[in-house]
Amino acid sequence: MQPTTHKLQWLVVIVCLFWPVDGLATQAHAGIEGVWVHQFAHVFFLFSMGLLIFWLRQAELVKLPGWRYIQYAALFFILWNLDAILVHLLDEQILAVTVNTIGPWHIRINAAAGRDWLATVYYLAKLDHLLCVPAMVCLMLGLRHMLQENRRSQSDGRLR
């Protein structure tokens, strides 16, 4: 390194250290940022489930019933994540839908620009447990198969 360049670098460091400006080291986190983080987490979850399906198929593990169920679980989790992303997007991010309670068991869904179809989609998407519960069921069935297989092989081993 040339001596002149070296001196310049030191100069920049000194100026940066002693120049009087506002402190910007800590960023504030408020409002919509939490929703964005939550949405990113959903995308990350979705992406990881996609990769899991890819790896299971590449390793040909899906030929085993236990892993096949886990593959289905991953697929349901992907659908559930898409569903959840859509719901969060509509009612928390772009505020395309608002919901008012108009009675003990009735709600009114207001879609922007009077799009009733969007209100219907939102209503159906709110039933997200119809996707995450099957995902958990598939995961449970997969693990049960693995356990049964494990028990069978252990009993075979003992018989031998």
Partner 1 sequence: MVTVSSFPIWFVDVVGSVLMIVFTFVSLGYCLELKKNEPTDIIIINYLLWVCVALAVFAISRSAGHLLKQIFLLSGHQALWTATQPFSGAINTFTFIVVASVTLFFERTWAIYGTILKDRQALQTAHEELIYLNQNLEGLVEERTEALAISEQKYRRIFEVSRDMILVTRTDGRILNINPAGKQLCGLSTASDSAIEGQLFQNYLSGPDDWKNINQHIENRGFISSEEFDLLLEDGSHRRVLLSGSLAKTPSEEGETIHFLVKDIEQRRLMQKQMAQADKLASIGELSSGIAHEINNPLGIILGYTQLLLRGEDPQSDRYNDLKTIEKHVRSCKAIVEDLLNFARTSHPHKEQIDIHAVITDVVHFVRHHSNLENIQIETALAPKLPSVLMDEKKIKQVLINLLMNAIHAVGRSGTIRIATGTNTAANRITVEVADTGHGIAKENLPRIFDPFFTTKPTGEGTGLGLSVSYGIIKGHGGHIIVKSEPDQGAAFTLSLPVSPAIAER
**Are the beta carbons of 97 and 91 closer than 8 angstroms?**
yes
Q: Which is nearer to partner 1, 21 or 30 (CB)?
A: 30
For partner 1, the closer of residues 13 and 51 by Cβ is 51
CB of 39 to partner 1, least distance (A): 9
Distance of closest approach, residue 12 Cβ to partner 1, in angstroms: 38
Q: Rank residues 62 and 143 by Cβ distance to partner 1 and give the closer one.
A: 143
Question: Do residues 62 and 56 lie in contact, with contact meaning Cβ atoms separated by under 8 Å?
Answer: yes
Hey, what's the torsion of the CAs at 21, 23, 29, 33, to 10 degrees?
30
Contacts to partner 1 by CB under 8 A = 34, 37-38, 41-42, 44-45, 47-49, 51-52, 55, 101-102, 105-111, 114, 116, 119-120, 123, 126-130, 132-133, 136-137, 139-140, 143-144, 146-147, 150-151, 154
CB of 25 to partner 1, least distance (A): 23
Q: Which residue has the tokens 């998407």?
A: 125
Of the pair 3, 157, the CB lying nearest partner 1 is at: 157
Encode 27-49: b = buried (16+ Cβ within 10 Å), e = exposed: eeeeeeeeeeeebeebeebbeeb
Q: Closest separation between CB of residue 13 and partner 1, Å?
A: 37
Q: Enter the tokens of residue 10.
A: 């030191």
Helix (H, G, I), strand (E, B) or coil at 101: strand
